[in-house]
Structure 1
Amino acid sequence: MFGTFRTILAALVVLQHFSPARLVGSMAVFAFFTLSGFLMTMLMDTAYRGRPEAFALNRFLRLYPHYWLAMAITAVLLLAGVAGSRPFIGLPDSVGGWAAALLYVNYWQTSPQLLPTAWAVTNEIVFYVLIGLGLSKTPGRTLLWFLVSLVYSVLAADYAPKNADLNYFLPSAASLPFALGALAYHARGLIDRRWAPVFAAYRPW
């Protein structure tokens, strides 16, 4: 179910980029981040509990080979003379630019950018690392993360509402949906443990 939902959200983001109408691309990105926060916290609490190195390897193999393939295809098309859909899309013109592209840090590299939409996956990687290091390991730690992220988001929206970096692109902006997803995972666990005996004992018939 989660995989299907994430695919639908990704499709909405793609439609946002190719449609002249304003769809729900931004909301879909944040919903995707929320699901990621839930799923990554669940994985670290179950399948990869006590095995952060296995979690890191799994995330690497799921993300980087596909990204490098997309980057290679884009580079070949650009070298063949195919124009990018945006004026800032192009082959990196420095060692730092190539290093940033290879590491997914496309949003912070200077123009030209090879795959500028990889900024969202950069944010995913940032929080994969933080969750792997234990950011959402306990309910209390996750609640603190959520509250700090909420304060940041309110301040950014209030004092810099037109700053797309602070409100959308940067990892700090993605922190709130990731924290919300992680908090939802812990909340579900607490509800299950506290109310499962009540539900099990309840027989309406």
Structure 2
Amino acid sequence: MLASSQETHVGVEAWRGLAAWMVVYVHYWGFSGHDWPPMRFAHTGVDLFFVLSGFVFAPYLWGKPLSPTAFALRRFFRIYPAYLLALAVYVGLKLQAGHPPLYLWEHLSFFQVQSREMAFYYNPPFWSLPAEVEFYVVLPWLAWSLRQARWAWAGWLLAALGLRVVLGYFGDPSSQDASYIMNFHLPGVGVEFLLGALAWRVAQIQLHLCWRTLLVLVGFAGWCALAVWFGQVGDAGVNNSVLKGQMGALAALCFAPMVAGMLGSPTARPPRDTTIGPPESRAWHVAALWAGRLSYGVYLFHMAALQMVQPWRETLAEHWPLGLQSLAVLLTVLMALLSYWLWEEPWRQFGRRQAASMEAAN
């Protein structure tokens, strides 16, 4: 679901793929009674996407030229066509099941996060896209403010942290009040994007391998500790604790050092000729690139794939030993591939050409 001038960076693509499949795991196997409870915390793959978005767009915050109109064109044609296709699929599934196409205008305009029912009506992962778009909207303004005063960076980060704490404290999941809803919009998730941007800044420092490894280990240990606790108490336990509304931000706080430590300089690109290097290096390179390229499609379509195979549950139980979810995984990959080749990439290239023409004209 992310793109930038660094999208061929193999490490970024690998992280994108990981984020998408973390979400798939939770929706397919999490809370099934047969899963490992700490892995239910893999739903924070969404927060990893937010961190990565902040990471790949961070150069604009530190001086990279930004044309707001051209940037908006690239973002629109990267995000919206694939989302529109996925929304059409889910609307078709609703109609097939005999349900009315409610909240359609809200979903078409990215205003669907007004309640849990509205946000989840077609596809639960759709809730994260408005926050992503909101970050795109404010990014030019954030970049401008930081050009005026470099110290403003610390102020924005502290303000975002404070706002997240306040929204989490006053938010009521049962009534879904304004504080609870805003925690899923940019005021609430803004800290996660800023942590990703900070991770990019740290990654520019020429740290010794030992320090980078320490960043990764600290982040991973923190995420594991949160996962174990979440596996024990669940959402109910979190909502009854002082960490109510903060688990996504805390997960992002763990992802940020891992991303910073593992990716290094985000301007480094892998060789364009993938025949260079040992076979295992080429295989990793290709696998990571495609994991990232398909991550948006996997994120958008995996719930549709699961719904599509549900009618064959009993037949599959007798003749498909790998289980219903494994067939849904295969269908998800197929749908993501077709979407990428036939729809996402053509529209993305079109948007890039339009943006380049606009920048050249200026």
Q: Does TM, scored on the shorter chain, surpass 0.5?
A: yes
Alpha-carbon contact 1:123-1:170 (below 8 Å) kept: yes
Distance 1:147 1:44, change over 3 A: closer
Letter in 1 for 2:19: L
Distance 2:89 2:181 in 1: 31
Pairing 1:57–2:73 present? yes
Among 118, 127, 131, the alignment partner of 1:119 is 127
Distance 1:19 1:126, change over 3 A: same
- 1:198 is matched with none
Write the deviation string for residues 82-125 of structure 1: whole angstroms up to 9, x where unpaired: 77xxxxxx512xxxx32211122222268553334211011111
- 1:42 is matched with 59
- 1:67 is matched with 83
- What TM-score, normalized to structure 1? 0.73
Distance 1:108 1:116, change over 3 A: farther
Query: Which of structures 1 and 2 has the larger relative contact order (alpha carbons within 8 angstroms, sep 6+)?
Result: 2
Percent of aligned pairs sharing the same letter? 27
- Aligned residue pair count: 181
Where in structure 1 are there 5+ consecutive unaligned residues? 84-89, 193-205
Distance 2:135 2:195 in 1: 13
How far has the Cα of 1:65 moved from its partner? 0.4
How far has the Cα of 1:137 moved from its partner? 4.2
Pairing 1:81–2:100 present? no
Pairing 1:20–2:35 present? no
Among 98, 105, 116, the alignment partner of 2:104 is 98
RMSD of equivalent CA atoms: 3.1
Alpha-carbon contact 2:55-2:199 (below 8 Å) kept: yes
Alpha-carbon contact 2:60-2:66 (below 8 Å) kept: no
Where in structure 2 are there 5+ consecutive unaligned residues? 1-10, 32-36, 207-362
Distance 2:70 2:41 in 1: 35
Bigger Rg over Cα: 2
Moved more, 60-69 or 180-189: 180-189
Distance 1:45 1:147, change over 3 A: closer
Alpha-carbon contact 2:167-2:183 (below 8 Å) kept: no
- 1:30 is matched with 47
Distance 1:151 1:111, change over 3 A: closer
